[in-house]
Structure 1
Amino acid sequence: MSEDADGTDDGAGDYASPPCFMHAVEAGAPGAGPAVRPNPDVVRWRKAERERLIAARLAVPAAEREAWGERIAGHLETAIGDPQGLVVSLYWPFRGEPDLRPLMARLADRGARTALPVVVERGRPLAFRAWRAGERLERGVWNIPVPADGDAVVPQVVVAPVVGFDRALYRLGYGGGFFDRTLAALPARPRVFGVGYRMAEIATIHPQPHDIAMDAILTEAGAVAPAG
Protein backbone atom coordinates (compact mmCIF):
# COMPACT_ATOMS: atom_id res chain seq x y z
CA MET A 1 0.00 0.00 0.00
CA SER A 2 1.18 3.50 -0.73
CA GLU A 3 -1.61 5.95 -0.12
CA ASP A 4 -1.92 8.23 2.84
CA ALA A 5 -4.89 8.56 5.17
CA ASP A 6 -6.93 10.57 2.73
CA GLY A 7 -6.38 8.58 -0.41
CA THR A 8 -3.23 10.25 -1.69
CA ASP A 9 -0.01 8.47 -2.53
CA ASP A 10 2.46 8.60 0.31
CA GLY A 11 5.04 5.83 -0.03
CA ALA A 12 4.72 2.20 0.93
CA GLY A 13 6.98 2.59 3.95
CA ASP A 14 4.25 4.45 5.83
CA TYR A 15 2.29 1.24 6.39
CA ALA A 16 2.85 -0.69 9.58
CA SER A 17 -0.50 -2.19 10.52
CA PRO A 18 -3.15 -4.39 8.98
CA PRO A 19 -4.72 -2.12 6.35
CA CYS A 20 -8.14 -3.46 7.29
CA PHE A 21 -8.15 -0.64 9.78
CA MET A 22 -7.02 2.17 7.52
CA HIS A 23 -10.10 4.31 7.37
CA ALA A 24 -10.11 6.73 4.46
CA VAL A 25 -11.73 6.04 1.12
CA GLU A 26 -9.44 6.07 -1.88
CA ALA A 27 -11.21 8.46 -4.24
CA GLY A 28 -12.79 6.57 -7.09
CA ALA A 29 -11.67 3.12 -5.93
CA PRO A 30 -13.93 0.18 -6.87
CA GLY A 31 -16.57 -0.36 -4.23
CA ALA A 32 -15.76 2.90 -2.46
CA GLY A 33 -18.80 4.83 -3.62
CA PRO A 34 -18.63 8.28 -5.22
CA ALA A 35 -15.18 9.79 -5.59
CA VAL A 36 -14.32 12.31 -2.88
CA ARG A 37 -11.65 14.91 -3.53
CA PRO A 38 -9.47 15.02 -0.40
CA ASN A 39 -8.80 18.37 1.22
CA PRO A 40 -5.05 18.87 0.69
CA ASP A 41 -4.67 20.76 3.98
CA VAL A 42 -6.29 17.87 5.87
CA VAL A 43 -4.10 15.38 3.99
CA ARG A 44 -0.93 17.20 5.08
CA TRP A 45 -2.14 17.68 8.64
CA ARG A 46 -3.13 14.04 9.06
CA LYS A 47 0.19 12.81 7.73
CA ALA A 48 2.11 14.94 10.22
CA GLU A 49 -0.23 14.08 13.09
CA ARG A 50 0.01 10.38 12.34
CA GLU A 51 3.80 10.49 12.44
CA ARG A 52 3.74 12.43 15.73
CA LEU A 53 1.31 10.06 17.43
CA ILE A 54 3.11 6.89 16.33
CA ALA A 55 6.44 8.27 17.54
CA ALA A 56 4.86 9.20 20.88
CA ARG A 57 3.45 5.76 21.56
CA LEU A 58 6.67 4.04 20.53
CA ALA A 59 8.48 6.19 23.09
CA VAL A 60 6.40 4.63 25.89
CA PRO A 61 8.22 1.69 27.55
CA ALA A 62 7.03 -1.67 26.25
CA ALA A 63 6.04 -2.87 29.73
CA GLU A 64 3.77 0.14 30.18
CA ARG A 65 2.15 -0.37 26.78
CA GLU A 66 1.61 -4.02 27.67
CA ALA A 67 -0.18 -3.06 30.88
CA TRP A 68 -2.34 -0.58 28.97
CA GLY A 69 -3.13 -3.26 26.42
CA GLU A 70 -4.31 -5.65 29.12
CA ARG A 71 -6.68 -2.99 30.47
CA ILE A 72 -7.97 -2.23 26.97
CA ALA A 73 -8.60 -5.94 26.43
CA GLY A 74 -10.63 -6.10 29.63
CA HIS A 75 -12.78 -3.12 28.62
CA LEU A 76 -13.27 -4.56 25.15
CA GLU A 77 -14.27 -7.96 26.49
CA THR A 78 -16.94 -6.27 28.61
CA ALA A 79 -18.14 -4.17 25.66
CA ILE A 80 -18.47 -7.19 23.39
CA GLY A 81 -20.46 -9.12 25.99
CA ASP A 82 -21.26 -12.79 25.54
CA PRO A 83 -19.17 -13.83 22.52
CA GLN A 84 -20.81 -17.24 22.09
CA GLY A 85 -21.55 -17.71 18.39
CA LEU A 86 -20.14 -14.33 17.31
CA VAL A 87 -17.55 -13.90 14.57
CA VAL A 88 -15.03 -11.36 15.93
CA SER A 89 -12.28 -9.88 13.75
CA LEU A 90 -9.25 -8.47 15.54
CA TYR A 91 -5.81 -7.61 14.12
CA TRP A 92 -2.13 -8.45 14.25
CA PRO A 93 -0.34 -5.74 16.29
CA PHE A 94 2.39 -3.52 14.81
CA ARG A 95 4.43 -0.54 15.96
CA GLY A 96 3.28 -0.32 19.55
CA GLU A 97 -0.42 -1.02 19.00
CA PRO A 98 -2.33 -2.74 21.82
CA ASP A 99 -1.63 -6.47 21.60
CA LEU A 100 -5.02 -8.17 21.83
CA ARG A 101 -3.92 -11.66 20.86
CA PRO A 102 -4.48 -12.99 24.40
CA LEU A 103 -8.03 -11.60 24.17
CA MET A 104 -8.51 -13.43 20.88
CA ALA A 105 -7.68 -16.68 22.66
CA ARG A 106 -10.10 -15.92 25.51
CA LEU A 107 -12.92 -15.06 23.11
CA ALA A 108 -12.33 -18.29 21.18
CA ASP A 109 -12.38 -20.27 24.43
CA ARG A 110 -15.71 -18.63 25.27
CA GLY A 111 -17.33 -19.68 22.00
CA ALA A 112 -16.49 -16.92 19.53
CA ARG A 113 -15.09 -17.58 16.10
CA THR A 114 -12.11 -15.25 15.82
CA ALA A 115 -10.74 -13.95 12.54
CA LEU A 116 -8.06 -11.81 10.94
CA PRO A 117 -8.38 -9.57 7.87
CA VAL A 118 -6.77 -10.47 4.57
CA VAL A 119 -5.90 -8.12 1.71
CA VAL A 120 -7.11 -9.75 -1.47
CA GLU A 121 -6.32 -7.01 -3.96
CA ARG A 122 -5.48 -3.31 -3.88
CA GLY A 123 -8.59 -1.18 -4.13
CA ARG A 124 -10.94 -3.99 -3.14
CA PRO A 125 -12.68 -4.84 0.16
CA LEU A 126 -10.88 -7.10 2.59
CA ALA A 127 -11.69 -10.71 3.17
CA PHE A 128 -11.82 -12.16 6.68
CA ARG A 129 -10.48 -15.61 7.52
CA ALA A 130 -11.11 -17.59 10.68
CA TRP A 131 -8.05 -17.98 12.90
CA ARG A 132 -7.21 -18.87 16.48
CA ALA A 133 -3.93 -19.23 18.31
CA GLY A 134 -1.87 -22.20 17.16
CA GLU A 135 -3.28 -22.32 13.65
CA ARG A 136 -0.97 -21.82 10.71
CA LEU A 137 -0.14 -18.32 9.50
CA GLU A 138 1.53 -17.13 6.33
CA ARG A 139 2.94 -13.81 5.20
CA GLY A 140 0.36 -11.82 3.31
CA VAL A 141 0.57 -8.52 1.47
CA TRP A 142 3.05 -6.12 3.12
CA ASN A 143 4.37 -9.05 5.21
CA ILE A 144 1.33 -9.00 7.48
CA PRO A 145 0.59 -12.43 9.00
CA VAL A 146 -2.69 -13.88 7.72
CA PRO A 147 -4.43 -17.21 8.30
CA ALA A 148 -3.06 -19.82 5.92
CA ASP A 149 -6.01 -22.19 6.02
CA GLY A 150 -8.95 -20.39 7.68
CA ASP A 151 -12.42 -20.39 6.17
CA ALA A 152 -13.84 -17.12 4.84
CA VAL A 153 -16.16 -15.54 7.44
CA VAL A 154 -18.30 -12.42 7.85
CA PRO A 155 -17.56 -10.63 11.16
CA GLN A 156 -20.27 -9.35 13.45
CA VAL A 157 -17.69 -7.47 15.53
CA VAL A 158 -14.66 -5.66 14.09
CA VAL A 159 -11.90 -4.29 16.33
CA ALA A 160 -9.81 -1.52 14.75
CA PRO A 161 -6.60 -0.02 16.19
CA VAL A 162 -6.43 3.77 16.10
CA VAL A 163 -3.47 6.06 15.59
CA GLY A 164 -5.52 8.95 16.96
CA PHE A 165 -9.14 9.63 17.87
CA ASP A 166 -11.49 12.41 18.87
CA ARG A 167 -14.58 12.55 21.09
CA ALA A 168 -16.88 12.43 18.10
CA LEU A 169 -15.61 8.82 17.89
CA TYR A 170 -13.76 9.37 14.64
CA ARG A 171 -10.44 7.56 14.27
CA LEU A 172 -7.26 8.62 12.59
CA GLY A 173 -5.91 5.54 10.85
CA TYR A 174 -2.89 4.72 8.77
CA GLY A 175 -4.32 5.66 5.39
CA GLY A 176 -5.62 3.52 2.54
CA GLY A 177 -9.13 2.78 1.34
CA PHE A 178 -9.85 -0.47 3.07
CA PHE A 179 -11.92 0.30 6.12
CA ASP A 180 -14.91 2.14 4.65
CA ARG A 181 -14.77 0.02 1.51
CA THR A 182 -14.96 -3.17 3.53
CA LEU A 183 -17.84 -1.96 5.71
CA ALA A 184 -19.77 -0.98 2.59
CA ALA A 185 -19.28 -4.42 1.08
CA LEU A 186 -20.43 -6.44 4.10
CA PRO A 187 -24.02 -7.71 4.01
CA ALA A 188 -24.68 -6.04 7.39
CA ARG A 189 -22.65 -3.49 9.30
CA PRO A 190 -20.82 -5.08 12.24
CA ARG A 191 -20.28 -3.46 15.60
CA VAL A 192 -17.03 -1.54 15.22
CA PHE A 193 -14.76 -0.82 18.18
CA GLY A 194 -11.73 1.44 17.90
CA VAL A 195 -8.93 0.67 20.38
CA GLY A 196 -5.92 2.75 21.34
CA TYR A 197 -4.14 4.53 24.16
CA ARG A 198 -5.60 7.53 25.95
CA MET A 199 -2.58 9.59 24.87
CA ALA A 200 -3.83 9.31 21.27
CA GLU A 201 -6.78 11.62 21.87
CA ILE A 202 -6.78 14.80 19.77
CA ALA A 203 -9.29 17.63 19.57
CA THR A 204 -10.56 16.56 16.15
CA ILE A 205 -9.40 14.47 13.22
CA HIS A 206 -11.09 17.05 10.93
CA PRO A 207 -13.54 14.45 9.58
CA GLN A 208 -14.19 14.46 5.86
CA PRO A 209 -17.33 13.21 4.07
CA HIS A 210 -15.94 9.69 3.77
CA ASP A 211 -14.97 9.28 7.44
CA ILE A 212 -17.02 6.88 9.57
CA ALA A 213 -17.42 7.22 13.33
CA MET A 214 -16.83 4.14 15.47
CA ASP A 215 -19.57 2.64 17.59
CA ALA A 216 -17.19 3.04 20.53
CA ILE A 217 -13.54 3.81 21.20
CA LEU A 218 -11.83 2.10 24.13
CA THR A 219 -8.59 3.08 25.84
CA GLU A 220 -6.86 1.85 28.97
CA ALA A 221 -9.07 4.33 30.85
CA GLY A 222 -12.29 2.80 29.48
CA ALA A 223 -14.82 3.89 26.89
CA VAL A 224 -14.35 7.37 25.47
CA ALA A 225 -17.24 9.65 26.36
CA PRO A 226 -18.70 10.94 23.08
CA ALA A 227 -18.75 14.70 22.53
CA GLY A 228 -22.06 16.39 23.35
Structure 2
Amino acid sequence: MGKVKKEMLRRNYAFEVRAEQDEKHGAIITGTPIVYESKTDLFDFFEVIDRGALDHADLTDVRFLVNHDTSKIPLARSRRNNDNSTMQLSVDKDGMKIRVDLDIENNAEARALYSAVQRGDISGMSFMFAVDSDTWDNLDSDKPTRHIRAISTVVEVSAVTFPAYEDTEIQARDKKALENARNALDSGKRAKSVDTDAIELERKRLENFFMEARR
Protein backbone atom coordinates (compact mmCIF):
# COMPACT_ATOMS: atom_id res chain seq x y z
CA MET A 1 0.00 0.00 0.00
CA GLY A 2 1.16 3.58 -0.72
CA LYS A 3 1.94 6.03 2.00
CA VAL A 4 -1.14 7.94 3.21
CA LYS A 5 -0.86 11.60 2.27
CA LYS A 6 -1.35 13.84 5.29
CA GLU A 7 -3.62 16.86 5.05
CA MET A 8 -1.83 20.21 5.14
CA LEU A 9 -3.05 22.73 7.72
CA ARG A 10 -2.40 26.44 8.22
CA ARG A 11 -1.95 28.31 11.50
CA ASN A 12 -1.54 32.05 12.02
CA TYR A 13 0.09 34.03 14.80
CA ALA A 14 0.05 37.76 15.47
CA PHE A 15 3.24 38.99 17.10
CA GLU A 16 6.21 41.22 16.42
CA VAL A 17 7.91 40.55 13.12
CA ARG A 18 11.06 42.60 12.72
CA ALA A 19 12.70 44.09 9.63
CA GLU A 20 16.40 44.69 10.22
CA GLN A 21 19.66 45.37 8.47
CA ASP A 22 22.37 42.76 9.02
CA GLU A 23 26.00 43.50 8.15
CA LYS A 24 26.47 40.05 6.60
CA HIS A 25 23.02 39.31 5.17
CA GLY A 26 21.67 42.78 4.34
CA ALA A 27 17.91 43.29 4.65
CA ILE A 28 16.40 40.57 6.83
CA ILE A 29 13.09 39.69 8.47
CA THR A 30 13.05 37.75 11.72
CA GLY A 31 10.13 36.18 13.57
CA THR A 32 8.71 33.11 15.29
CA PRO A 33 6.07 31.45 13.08
CA ILE A 34 5.63 28.39 15.36
CA VAL A 35 5.11 28.98 19.08
CA TYR A 36 4.98 26.15 21.63
CA GLU A 37 2.48 26.00 24.50
CA SER A 38 0.41 28.91 23.17
CA LYS A 39 -3.35 28.33 23.18
CA THR A 40 -4.97 29.35 19.89
CA ASP A 41 -8.73 29.83 19.49
CA LEU A 42 -9.90 28.00 16.35
CA PHE A 43 -13.61 28.78 16.66
CA ASP A 44 -14.82 25.30 17.62
CA PHE A 45 -11.88 24.32 19.83
CA PHE A 46 -8.60 25.50 21.29
CA GLU A 47 -5.30 24.23 19.99
CA VAL A 48 -1.86 23.98 21.57
CA ILE A 49 1.35 22.95 19.85
CA ASP A 50 3.16 20.98 22.53
CA ARG A 51 6.79 21.59 23.34
CA GLY A 52 8.97 19.32 21.20
CA ALA A 53 6.39 18.89 18.42
CA LEU A 54 9.07 19.78 15.85
CA ASP A 55 11.71 17.37 17.18
CA HIS A 56 11.28 14.92 14.28
CA ALA A 57 9.63 17.17 11.70
CA ASP A 58 10.76 17.21 8.08
CA LEU A 59 12.17 20.71 7.49
CA THR A 60 14.24 19.85 4.44
CA ASP A 61 12.47 22.20 2.01
CA VAL A 62 10.53 25.21 3.34
CA ARG A 63 9.55 28.23 1.25
CA PHE A 64 8.82 31.79 2.41
CA LEU A 65 5.81 33.52 0.81
CA VAL A 66 3.46 36.43 1.40
CA ASN A 67 -0.14 35.52 2.27
CA HIS A 68 0.40 31.91 1.08
CA ASP A 69 0.37 33.13 -2.53
CA THR A 70 1.87 30.17 -4.37
CA SER A 71 1.37 31.90 -7.72
CA LYS A 72 4.23 34.25 -6.82
CA ILE A 73 7.94 33.46 -6.74
CA PRO A 74 9.06 32.60 -3.17
CA LEU A 75 10.94 35.46 -1.50
CA ALA A 76 13.24 32.98 0.25
CA ARG A 77 13.77 29.26 0.73
CA SER A 78 15.36 26.92 3.24
CA ARG A 79 16.87 23.78 1.70
CA ARG A 80 18.12 21.46 4.41
CA ASN A 81 18.81 24.67 6.34
CA ASN A 82 22.28 24.84 4.78
CA ASP A 83 24.46 27.96 4.83
CA ASN A 84 23.46 28.87 1.27
CA SER A 85 19.72 28.93 2.08
CA THR A 86 18.05 32.34 1.94
CA MET A 87 15.90 31.39 4.93
CA GLN A 88 17.40 29.96 8.11
CA LEU A 89 15.29 27.93 10.56
CA SER A 90 16.07 27.57 14.24
CA VAL A 91 14.12 25.21 16.54
CA ASP A 92 14.47 25.72 20.29
CA LYS A 93 12.43 25.23 23.49
CA ASP A 94 9.96 27.97 22.49
CA GLY A 95 9.22 26.90 18.90
CA MET A 96 10.68 27.74 15.51
CA LYS A 97 12.36 31.02 14.65
CA ILE A 98 13.27 32.17 11.16
CA ARG A 99 15.65 34.64 9.54
CA VAL A 100 14.76 35.60 5.98
CA ASP A 101 17.35 37.25 3.72
CA LEU A 102 15.47 39.56 1.34
CA ASP A 103 16.79 40.74 -2.00
CA ILE A 104 15.36 44.26 -1.79
CA GLU A 105 17.63 45.55 -4.56
CA ASN A 106 16.45 43.21 -7.32
CA ASN A 107 13.00 42.11 -6.13
CA ALA A 108 10.24 44.72 -5.87
CA GLU A 109 7.98 42.41 -3.83
CA ALA A 110 10.75 41.74 -1.33
CA ARG A 111 11.30 45.49 -1.05
CA ALA A 112 7.58 46.10 -0.50
CA LEU A 113 7.38 43.41 2.19
CA TYR A 114 10.46 44.75 3.98
CA SER A 115 8.91 48.23 4.04
CA ALA A 116 5.52 46.91 5.25
CA VAL A 117 7.11 44.99 8.13
CA GLN A 118 9.36 47.91 9.00
CA ARG A 119 6.33 50.25 9.15
CA GLY A 120 4.31 47.76 11.21
CA ASP A 121 1.72 47.25 8.47
CA ILE A 122 2.37 43.49 8.53
CA SER A 123 2.61 41.95 12.00
CA GLY A 124 1.70 38.31 11.55
CA MET A 125 3.13 35.04 10.32
CA SER A 126 1.58 31.76 9.27
CA PHE A 127 2.87 28.30 8.47
CA MET A 128 1.66 25.28 6.54
CA PHE A 129 2.23 21.89 8.12
CA ALA A 130 1.00 18.33 8.58
CA VAL A 131 0.22 16.64 11.89
CA ASP A 132 1.83 13.35 12.84
CA SER A 133 0.07 12.83 16.19
CA ASP A 134 -2.36 14.69 18.42
CA THR A 135 -4.53 14.22 21.52
CA TRP A 136 -7.70 15.89 22.77
CA ASP A 137 -8.81 17.15 26.18
CA ASN A 138 -12.43 17.65 27.27
CA LEU A 139 -14.05 16.33 24.10
CA ASP A 140 -17.37 16.22 25.94
CA SER A 141 -17.28 19.99 26.49
CA ASP A 142 -18.52 22.70 24.12
CA LYS A 143 -14.96 23.78 23.35
CA PRO A 144 -12.31 21.07 23.82
CA THR A 145 -8.55 21.49 23.46
CA ARG A 146 -6.43 19.80 20.80
CA HIS A 147 -2.77 19.14 21.60
CA ILE A 148 -0.50 18.72 18.58
CA ARG A 149 2.13 16.32 19.89
CA ALA A 150 4.20 15.89 16.73
CA ILE A 151 4.42 17.77 13.42
CA SER A 152 5.49 15.59 10.50
CA THR A 153 6.49 18.35 8.06
CA VAL A 154 6.52 22.11 7.51
CA VAL A 155 6.43 23.13 3.85
CA GLU A 156 5.85 26.86 3.88
CA VAL A 157 5.98 29.99 6.05
CA SER A 158 4.22 33.24 5.14
CA ALA A 159 4.13 36.82 6.27
CA VAL A 160 0.40 37.56 6.47
CA THR A 161 -1.68 40.71 6.29
CA PHE A 162 -4.49 39.31 8.46
CA PRO A 163 -3.27 37.03 11.27
CA ALA A 164 -6.84 36.28 12.40
CA TYR A 165 -8.64 33.20 11.08
CA GLU A 166 -11.16 34.46 8.55
CA ASP A 167 -10.83 31.67 5.97
CA THR A 168 -14.02 29.57 6.07
CA GLU A 169 -12.24 26.66 4.37
CA ILE A 170 -9.72 26.53 7.21
CA GLN A 171 -12.54 26.66 9.76
CA ALA A 172 -14.33 23.79 8.02
CA ARG A 173 -11.18 21.64 8.03
CA ASP A 174 -10.55 22.34 11.70
CA LYS A 175 -14.17 21.49 12.55
CA LYS A 176 -13.80 18.22 10.66
CA ALA A 177 -10.82 17.31 12.88
CA LEU A 178 -12.98 17.92 15.95
CA GLU A 179 -15.85 15.84 14.55
CA ASN A 180 -13.49 12.96 13.78
CA ALA A 181 -12.12 13.05 17.32
CA ARG A 182 -15.60 13.08 18.85
CA ASN A 183 -16.74 10.24 16.58
CA ALA A 184 -13.72 8.20 17.68
CA LEU A 185 -14.58 8.92 21.31
CA ASP A 186 -18.22 7.90 20.77
CA SER A 187 -17.14 4.71 19.01
CA GLY A 188 -14.91 3.88 21.94
CA LYS A 189 -17.76 4.48 24.37
CA ARG A 190 -20.12 2.31 22.33
CA ALA A 191 -17.55 -0.48 22.14
CA LYS A 192 -17.04 -0.25 25.89
CA SER A 193 -20.81 -0.38 26.42
CA VAL A 194 -21.12 -3.44 24.19
CA ASP A 195 -18.30 -5.15 26.09
CA THR A 196 -19.95 -4.36 29.41
CA ASP A 197 -23.30 -5.74 28.22
CA ALA A 198 -21.63 -8.91 26.95
CA ILE A 199 -19.88 -9.44 30.27
CA GLU A 200 -23.14 -8.96 32.17
CA LEU A 201 -24.96 -11.44 29.92
CA GLU A 202 -22.19 -14.01 30.41
CA ARG A 203 -22.30 -13.50 34.17
CA LYS A 204 -26.06 -14.11 34.24
CA ARG A 205 -25.69 -17.19 32.00
CA LEU A 206 -23.14 -18.69 34.38
CA GLU A 207 -25.32 -17.90 37.40
CA ASN A 208 -28.26 -19.68 35.77
CA PHE A 209 -26.04 -22.62 34.84
CA PHE A 210 -24.81 -23.14 38.40
CA MET A 211 -28.32 -22.67 39.83
CA GLU A 212 -29.59 -25.42 37.50
CA ALA A 213 -26.67 -27.64 38.44
CA ARG A 214 -27.49 -27.41 42.16
CA ARG A 215 -31.07 -28.62 41.67
Q: Would you call these one fold, judging by a TM-score over 0.5?
A: no
Q: Quick check: which has more Rg, 1 or 2?
A: 2
Q: If the length of structure 2 is used for normalisation, what is the TM-score? A: 0.27
The structure that is strand-richer by fraction is 2
